[in-house]
Amino acid sequence: MIILAIETSCDETAAAVVKTQKSVIKPLSSVVSSQIPLHRKTRGVVPEVAARAHIRKINAVVKKALTDARIGLKSIDYLAVTNGPGLITSLLIGTEYVKALSLAINKKIIPTNHMSGHLYSAFLQNPQLKLPSINLIVSGGHTYIVLLASKNKIKIIGQTIDDAAGEAFDKVARMLELPYPGGPEISKAALHGKRDYDFPRPMQYTKDYNFSFAGLKTAVLYKIRDEKLKMSDPQVVADLAFSFQNAAVDVLVAKTIRAAKQYKAKSITLSGGVAANKKLRKDLGDAAKKEKLKLYVPDFKLCTDNALMIANAAAIKLQGGFKPVNYTKVKVNPGLEI
Ligand code: KG4
Ligand code: ZN
Protein backbone atom coordinates (compact mmCIF):
# COMPACT_ATOMS: atom_id res chain seq x y z
CA MET A 1 0.00 0.00 0.00
CA ILE A 2 1.40 3.40 -0.96
CA ILE A 3 0.34 6.58 0.86
CA LEU A 4 1.11 10.15 -0.25
CA ALA A 5 0.74 12.59 2.67
CA ILE A 6 0.61 16.37 2.71
CA GLU A 7 1.19 18.66 5.69
CA THR A 8 0.54 22.43 5.66
CA SER A 9 -0.80 23.09 9.17
CA CYS A 10 1.55 25.97 10.01
CA ASP A 11 4.65 27.25 8.24
CA GLU A 12 6.17 24.18 6.56
CA THR A 13 4.92 22.95 3.19
CA ALA A 14 5.61 19.21 3.24
CA ALA A 15 4.87 16.01 1.31
CA ALA A 16 6.01 12.44 1.89
CA VAL A 17 5.45 8.94 0.59
CA VAL A 18 5.40 5.71 2.62
CA LYS A 19 4.96 2.11 1.61
CA THR A 20 3.23 -0.26 4.03
CA GLN A 21 3.57 -4.03 4.08
CA LYS A 22 1.54 -5.62 6.87
CA SER A 23 2.78 -3.82 10.00
CA VAL A 24 5.95 -2.42 8.39
CA ILE A 25 5.89 1.25 7.38
CA LYS A 26 8.74 2.15 5.04
CA PRO A 27 9.51 5.81 4.22
CA LEU A 28 10.09 6.36 0.48
CA SER A 29 10.49 10.14 0.51
CA SER A 30 10.06 13.26 2.64
CA VAL A 31 10.23 16.83 1.36
CA VAL A 32 9.92 19.90 3.58
CA SER A 33 9.93 23.47 2.32
CA SER A 34 10.36 25.73 5.34
CA GLN A 35 9.01 29.28 5.49
CA ILE A 36 11.28 30.27 8.38
CA PRO A 37 13.23 32.95 6.43
CA LEU A 38 9.90 34.50 5.38
CA HIS A 39 8.58 34.73 8.95
CA ARG A 40 11.85 36.04 10.43
CA LYS A 41 10.94 39.54 9.22
CA THR A 42 7.81 39.56 11.39
CA ARG A 43 9.37 37.45 14.20
CA GLY A 44 6.45 35.05 13.96
CA VAL A 45 3.98 33.49 11.54
CA VAL A 46 1.47 35.82 9.86
CA PRO A 47 -1.26 33.34 8.80
CA GLU A 48 -2.09 35.05 5.49
CA VAL A 49 1.60 35.17 4.52
CA ALA A 50 1.98 31.46 5.42
CA ALA A 51 -1.06 30.45 3.37
CA ARG A 52 0.17 32.32 0.30
CA ALA A 53 3.59 30.68 0.60
CA HIS A 54 1.94 27.23 0.81
CA ILE A 55 0.09 27.94 -2.44
CA ARG A 56 3.33 28.90 -4.17
CA LYS A 57 5.21 25.81 -2.99
CA ILE A 58 2.77 22.91 -2.68
CA ASN A 59 2.84 21.62 -6.25
CA ALA A 60 6.63 21.53 -6.48
CA VAL A 61 6.92 19.89 -3.04
CA VAL A 62 4.45 17.11 -3.97
CA LYS A 63 6.19 16.55 -7.32
CA LYS A 64 9.57 16.23 -5.60
CA ALA A 65 8.16 13.78 -3.04
CA LEU A 66 6.91 11.60 -5.90
CA THR A 67 10.16 11.88 -7.84
CA ASP A 68 12.27 11.06 -4.77
CA ALA A 69 10.06 8.03 -4.09
CA ARG A 70 10.44 7.04 -7.77
CA ILE A 71 6.71 6.68 -8.24
CA GLY A 72 3.97 8.33 -10.30
CA LEU A 73 0.48 9.36 -9.23
CA LYS A 74 -0.85 6.05 -10.57
CA SER A 75 0.99 4.08 -7.88
CA ILE A 76 -0.74 5.85 -4.99
CA ASP A 77 -3.34 3.87 -3.04
CA TYR A 78 -4.37 6.53 -0.53
CA LEU A 79 -3.86 10.21 0.12
CA ALA A 80 -3.37 11.56 3.64
CA VAL A 81 -3.61 15.14 4.82
CA THR A 82 -3.38 17.07 8.09
CA ASN A 83 -6.88 18.39 8.85
CA GLY A 84 -6.07 19.95 12.26
CA PRO A 85 -5.02 21.36 14.61
CA GLY A 86 -3.28 24.33 13.01
CA LEU A 87 -3.83 27.67 11.31
CA ILE A 88 -7.07 27.50 9.36
CA THR A 89 -5.79 29.26 6.24
CA SER A 90 -2.71 27.03 6.15
CA LEU A 91 -4.72 23.84 6.74
CA LEU A 92 -7.13 24.79 3.94
CA ILE A 93 -4.37 24.90 1.32
CA GLY A 94 -3.29 21.30 2.05
CA THR A 95 -6.79 19.88 2.41
CA GLU A 96 -8.20 21.58 -0.71
CA TYR A 97 -5.16 20.47 -2.70
CA VAL A 98 -5.60 16.87 -1.54
CA LYS A 99 -9.33 16.95 -2.24
CA ALA A 100 -8.68 18.11 -5.81
CA LEU A 101 -6.01 15.43 -6.25
CA SER A 102 -8.37 12.81 -4.82
CA LEU A 103 -10.98 13.73 -7.40
CA ALA A 104 -8.43 13.70 -10.22
CA ILE A 105 -6.88 10.31 -9.42
CA ASN A 106 -9.95 8.76 -7.80
CA LYS A 107 -8.26 7.77 -4.53
CA LYS A 108 -9.65 8.09 -1.03
CA ILE A 109 -8.29 10.24 1.79
CA ILE A 110 -7.09 9.56 5.35
CA PRO A 111 -7.59 12.86 7.26
CA THR A 112 -4.88 12.88 9.90
CA ASN A 113 -4.41 14.72 13.19
CA HIS A 114 -1.19 16.75 13.28
CA MET A 115 -0.48 15.92 16.93
CA SER A 116 -0.94 12.19 16.33
CA GLY A 117 1.65 12.69 13.59
CA HIS A 118 4.10 14.00 16.20
CA LEU A 119 3.15 11.26 18.68
CA TYR A 120 3.72 8.36 16.28
CA SER A 121 6.92 9.86 14.81
CA ALA A 122 8.73 8.24 17.75
CA PHE A 123 7.49 4.85 16.50
CA LEU A 124 8.78 5.28 12.94
CA GLN A 125 12.31 4.11 13.76
CA ASN A 126 11.17 1.99 16.72
CA PRO A 127 7.88 0.33 15.69
CA GLN A 128 8.24 -2.37 18.32
CA LEU A 129 8.61 -0.09 21.33
CA LYS A 130 6.84 -1.57 24.32
CA LEU A 131 3.39 -0.42 25.39
CA PRO A 132 1.89 1.03 27.52
CA SER A 133 3.98 4.12 26.81
CA ILE A 134 3.89 7.60 28.28
CA ASN A 135 4.38 10.15 25.55
CA LEU A 136 5.38 13.79 25.94
CA ILE A 137 4.35 15.84 22.90
CA VAL A 138 5.74 19.38 22.95
CA SER A 139 5.19 21.71 20.01
CA GLY A 140 4.63 25.38 19.25
CA GLY A 141 0.89 25.08 19.79
CA HIS A 142 0.37 22.15 22.17
CA THR A 143 1.83 20.37 25.19
CA TYR A 144 0.40 16.96 25.99
CA ILE A 145 1.21 13.93 28.12
CA VAL A 146 -0.52 11.03 26.43
CA LEU A 147 -0.98 7.43 27.55
CA LEU A 148 -0.87 4.80 24.81
CA ALA A 149 -2.27 1.55 26.17
CA SER A 150 -2.30 0.11 22.67
CA LYS A 151 -1.17 1.61 19.35
CA ASN A 152 -4.51 3.23 18.45
CA LYS A 153 -5.76 4.00 21.95
CA ILE A 154 -4.71 7.57 22.70
CA LYS A 155 -5.62 9.03 26.10
CA ILE A 156 -4.64 12.56 27.09
CA ILE A 157 -3.68 12.55 30.76
CA GLY A 158 -2.17 16.04 30.94
CA GLN A 159 -1.84 19.24 28.96
CA THR A 160 -0.92 22.89 29.31
CA ILE A 161 -3.48 25.14 30.93
CA ASP A 162 -2.06 28.24 29.19
CA ASP A 163 0.95 28.55 26.83
CA ALA A 164 2.41 25.59 24.97
CA ALA A 165 6.05 24.76 25.76
CA GLY A 166 7.26 25.88 22.30
CA GLU A 167 5.20 29.05 22.53
CA ALA A 168 6.94 29.87 25.85
CA PHE A 169 10.37 29.32 24.22
CA ASP A 170 9.33 31.57 21.31
CA LYS A 171 7.93 34.33 23.53
CA VAL A 172 10.92 34.36 25.89
CA ALA A 173 13.20 34.49 22.81
CA ARG A 174 11.37 37.65 21.73
CA MET A 175 12.04 39.20 25.16
CA LEU A 176 15.72 38.30 24.68
CA GLU A 177 15.60 39.91 21.21
CA LEU A 178 16.54 36.62 19.54
CA PRO A 179 15.32 35.80 16.00
CA TYR A 180 12.34 33.57 15.09
CA PRO A 181 11.87 30.66 15.73
CA GLY A 182 12.93 31.17 19.33
CA GLY A 183 13.31 27.59 20.57
CA PRO A 184 16.56 26.75 18.76
CA GLU A 185 17.95 30.24 19.53
CA ILE A 186 17.28 29.85 23.27
CA SER A 187 19.01 26.47 23.34
CA LYS A 188 22.03 27.89 21.45
CA ALA A 189 22.29 30.92 23.76
CA ALA A 190 21.83 28.71 26.87
CA LEU A 191 25.06 26.86 26.04
CA HIS A 192 26.98 29.97 27.23
CA GLY A 193 24.89 30.51 30.38
CA LYS A 194 26.81 30.82 33.67
CA ARG A 195 24.30 32.21 36.15
CA ASP A 196 21.04 30.44 37.02
CA TYR A 197 18.32 32.87 38.10
CA ASP A 198 16.35 29.99 39.59
CA PHE A 199 13.04 30.80 37.92
CA PRO A 200 9.86 29.12 39.25
CA ARG A 201 8.93 25.60 38.12
CA PRO A 202 5.14 26.11 37.80
CA MET A 203 2.93 23.16 38.76
CA GLN A 204 5.93 20.83 39.15
CA TYR A 205 4.50 19.29 42.32
CA THR A 206 0.77 19.34 41.56
CA LYS A 207 -0.78 15.88 41.53
CA ASP A 208 -2.15 16.17 37.97
CA TYR A 209 -0.11 15.96 34.77
CA ASN A 210 -0.91 19.47 33.55
CA PHE A 211 1.55 22.24 32.80
CA SER A 212 1.61 26.03 33.00
CA PHE A 213 4.24 28.17 31.29
CA ALA A 214 2.64 31.64 31.45
CA GLY A 215 3.99 32.37 34.96
CA LEU A 216 7.49 31.26 34.03
CA LYS A 217 7.40 33.55 31.02
CA THR A 218 6.25 36.46 33.22
CA ALA A 219 9.02 35.69 35.74
CA VAL A 220 11.57 36.22 32.93
CA LEU A 221 9.86 39.49 31.97
CA TYR A 222 9.88 40.79 35.57
CA LYS A 223 13.53 39.79 36.05
CA ILE A 224 14.49 41.83 32.95
CA ARG A 225 12.39 44.78 34.16
CA ASP A 226 13.39 44.71 37.85
CA GLU A 227 17.12 44.27 37.27
CA LYS A 228 17.06 46.56 34.20
CA LEU A 229 18.85 43.88 32.18
CA LYS A 230 20.10 44.88 28.73
CA MET A 231 19.91 42.47 25.81
CA SER A 232 22.91 44.16 24.21
CA ASP A 233 25.03 42.09 26.63
CA PRO A 234 25.33 38.53 25.19
CA GLN A 235 26.10 37.12 28.68
CA VAL A 236 22.81 38.48 30.03
CA VAL A 237 20.95 36.84 27.12
CA ALA A 238 22.84 33.56 27.68
CA ASP A 239 22.09 33.55 31.44
CA LEU A 240 18.39 34.26 30.94
CA ALA A 241 18.10 31.61 28.19
CA PHE A 242 19.97 29.10 30.38
CA SER A 243 17.78 29.80 33.44
CA PHE A 244 14.50 29.71 31.51
CA GLN A 245 15.45 26.48 29.71
CA ASN A 246 16.46 24.82 33.01
CA ALA A 247 13.08 25.66 34.56
CA ALA A 248 10.98 24.59 31.53
CA VAL A 249 12.90 21.31 31.08
CA ASP A 250 12.73 20.45 34.81
CA VAL A 251 8.93 20.66 34.81
CA LEU A 252 8.54 18.68 31.58
CA VAL A 253 10.86 15.92 32.81
CA ALA A 254 9.39 15.71 36.34
CA LYS A 255 5.79 15.35 35.20
CA THR A 256 6.57 12.88 32.41
CA ILE A 257 8.53 10.61 34.74
CA ARG A 258 5.82 10.76 37.40
CA ALA A 259 3.21 9.81 34.79
CA ALA A 260 5.39 6.93 33.58
CA LYS A 261 5.67 5.59 37.13
CA GLN A 262 1.98 6.06 37.91
CA TYR A 263 0.82 4.31 34.72
CA LYS A 264 3.52 1.63 34.90
CA ALA A 265 4.75 2.57 31.43
CA LYS A 266 7.19 0.26 29.67
CA SER A 267 8.62 3.06 27.54
CA ILE A 268 8.60 6.84 27.16
CA THR A 269 8.51 8.85 23.93
CA LEU A 270 9.28 12.49 23.28
CA SER A 271 8.06 14.27 20.14
CA GLY A 272 7.10 17.65 18.61
CA GLY A 273 9.30 20.62 17.72
CA VAL A 274 10.57 21.14 21.28
CA ALA A 275 11.82 17.52 21.23
CA ALA A 276 14.68 18.95 19.15
CA ASN A 277 15.92 20.58 22.38
CA LYS A 278 19.13 18.80 23.37
CA LYS A 279 18.81 19.48 27.10
CA LEU A 280 15.27 18.09 27.16
CA ARG A 281 16.40 14.98 25.24
CA LYS A 282 19.31 14.43 27.61
CA ASP A 283 17.56 15.16 30.91
CA LEU A 284 14.49 13.09 30.05
CA GLY A 285 16.72 10.26 28.78
CA ASP A 286 18.76 10.30 32.02
CA ALA A 287 15.65 10.44 34.23
CA ALA A 288 14.05 7.57 32.28
CA LYS A 289 17.21 5.48 32.70
CA LYS A 290 17.05 5.94 36.48
CA GLU A 291 13.60 4.37 36.35
CA LYS A 292 14.96 1.57 34.11
CA LEU A 293 12.87 2.88 31.21
CA LYS A 294 13.98 3.61 27.67
CA LEU A 295 13.29 6.97 26.04
CA TYR A 296 12.49 7.00 22.32
CA VAL A 297 12.99 10.27 20.44
CA PRO A 298 12.69 10.78 16.67
CA ASP A 299 15.63 12.04 14.61
CA PHE A 300 15.95 15.85 14.68
CA LYS A 301 14.41 16.26 11.22
CA LEU A 302 11.35 14.29 12.31
CA CYS A 303 10.77 16.46 15.42
CA THR A 304 9.74 19.66 13.68
CA ASP A 305 6.83 19.67 11.22
CA ASN A 306 7.09 17.27 8.27
CA ALA A 307 4.78 15.09 6.18
CA LEU A 308 6.55 11.79 6.87
CA MET A 309 5.03 11.81 10.36
CA ILE A 310 1.61 12.39 8.78
CA ALA A 311 2.05 9.51 6.30
CA ASN A 312 3.19 7.30 9.19
CA ALA A 313 0.23 8.28 11.43
CA ALA A 314 -2.17 7.74 8.51
CA ALA A 315 -0.71 4.25 7.94
CA ILE A 316 -1.13 3.44 11.66
CA LYS A 317 -4.74 4.71 11.48
CA LEU A 318 -5.32 2.44 8.48
CA GLN A 319 -3.77 -0.54 10.29
CA GLY A 320 -6.13 0.22 13.19
CA GLY A 321 -9.12 -0.30 10.91
CA PHE A 322 -9.88 3.26 9.72
CA LYS A 323 -11.81 3.40 6.43
CA PRO A 324 -10.44 6.13 4.10
CA VAL A 325 -13.08 8.68 3.08
CA ASN A 326 -14.41 10.37 -0.02
CA TYR A 327 -13.08 13.92 -0.61
CA THR A 328 -16.48 15.42 0.29
CA LYS A 329 -16.05 14.12 3.85
CA VAL A 330 -12.76 15.91 4.60
CA LYS A 331 -13.34 18.79 7.02
CA VAL A 332 -10.75 21.16 8.42
CA ASN A 333 -10.77 21.59 12.20
CA PRO A 334 -8.13 24.07 13.46
CA GLY A 335 -8.94 23.33 17.12
CA LEU A 336 -8.86 19.56 16.77
CA GLU A 337 -7.68 17.70 19.90
CA ILE A 338 -5.41 14.74 19.53
O1 KG4 B 1 6.12 20.84 16.07
P2 KG4 B 1 6.55 22.13 15.53
O3 KG4 B 1 7.54 22.16 14.39
O4 KG4 B 1 5.32 22.98 15.06
C5 KG4 B 1 4.11 22.96 15.73
O6 KG4 B 1 3.34 21.98 15.53
O7 KG4 B 1 3.90 23.90 16.52
O8 KG4 B 1 7.13 22.94 16.77
C9 KG4 B 1 7.65 24.22 16.62
C10 KG4 B 1 8.11 24.69 18.00
C11 KG4 B 1 8.48 26.14 18.02
O12 KG4 B 1 7.88 26.75 19.15
C13 KG4 B 1 10.00 26.11 18.15
O14 KG4 B 1 10.54 27.23 18.82
C15 KG4 B 1 10.19 24.84 18.96
O16 KG4 B 1 9.27 23.94 18.40
N17 KG4 B 1 11.57 24.32 18.86
C18 KG4 B 1 12.41 24.24 19.92
C19 KG4 B 1 13.64 23.77 19.41
N20 KG4 B 1 13.50 23.56 18.06
C21 KG4 B 1 12.22 23.90 17.74
N22 KG4 B 1 12.22 24.53 21.20
C23 KG4 B 1 13.27 24.34 22.06
N24 KG4 B 1 14.47 23.92 21.65
C25 KG4 B 1 14.72 23.62 20.35
N26 KG4 B 1 15.92 23.19 19.96
ZN1 ZN C 1 3.89 20.36 14.80
Q: Above 90 in pLDDT, residue 128?
A: no
Write out pLDDT tens, residues 167-214: 999 999 999 999 999 999 999 999 999 999 999 999 999 999 999 999
Residues 112, 141 contacting (CB under 8 angstroms): no
pLDDT (0 to 100) of residue 27: 98
Write out pLDDT tens, residues 102-127: 999 999 999 999 999 999 999 999 98
- Name residues whose C-beta falls within 8 Å of residue 284's C-beta, 6 or more positions apart in sequence: 136, 252, 253, 256, 257, 268, 270, 295
Write out pLDDT tens, residues 11-54: 999 999 999 998 899 999 999 999 999 999 898 899 999 999 99
Q: Above 90 in pLDDT, residue 60?
A: yes
Biggest alpha carbon–alpha carbon distance for the chain: 64
pLDDT (0 to 100) of residue 23: 87
What number does CATH give the domain 2-119+305-329? 3.30.420.40
For residue 223, what pLDDT band results from cuts at 50, 70 and 90?
very high
Residues 80, 113 contacting (CB under 8 angstroms): no
- Residue 194 buriedness (CB in 10 A; 0-12 / 13-18 / 19+): exposed
Please list the residues that pair with 112 across neighbouring strands.
82
Residues with CB under 6 A from ligand 1: 10, 139-141, 166, 169-170, 181-184, 187, 272-274, 276-277, 304-305
pLDDT (0 to 100) of residue 93: 98
CA of 272 to the centre of ligand 1 (A): 7
pLDDT (0 to 100) of residue 120: 97
**Of all protein residues, whose CA lies closest to atom 8 belonging to ligand 1?**
273
Average pLDDT score, the chain: 97
CA of 219 to the centre of ligand 1 (A): 21
Whole-angstrom distance, CA of residue 85 vs CA of residue 91:
8
Whole-angstrom distance, CA of residue 313 vs CA of residue 111:
10
pLDDT (0 to 100) of residue 22: 86
Whole-angstrom distance, CA of residue 50 vs CA of residue 203:
34
Every domain of the chain and the residues it spans: 2-119+305-329, 130-297
Between the CA of residue 32 and those of 62, 182, 273, 276, 307, what are the distances in Å?
10, 20, 14, 16, 8
CA of 88 to the centre of ligand 2 (A): 14
Q: Above 90 in pLDDT, residue 68?
A: yes
Domains 2-119+305-329 and 130-297 share a fold: yes
Write out pLDDT tens, residues 305-338: 999 999 999 999 999 999 999 999 999 999 998 9
Write out pLDDT tens, residues 131-155: 999 999 999 999 999 999 999 999 9
CATH architecture of the domain with residue range 130-297:
2-Layer Sandwich (3.30)
* 268: phi then psi, degrees, rounded to nearest 5: -125, 140
Between the CA of residue 252 and those of 83, 135, 234, what are the distances in Å?
27, 11, 27
pLDDT (0 to 100) of residue 278: 97
pLDDT (0 to 100) of residue 224: 98
CA of 89 to the centre of ligand 1 (A): 20
For the chain, what percent of residues have pLDDT higher than 70?
A: 100
125: Cα within 13 Å, side-chain hemisphere: 12
Q: Above 90 in pLDDT, residue 250?
A: yes
- Residue 269 buriedness (CB in 10 A; 0-12 / 13-18 / 19+): buried
| Alpha helices (H) in 276-324, listed in sequence order | 278-290, 300-303, 308-319
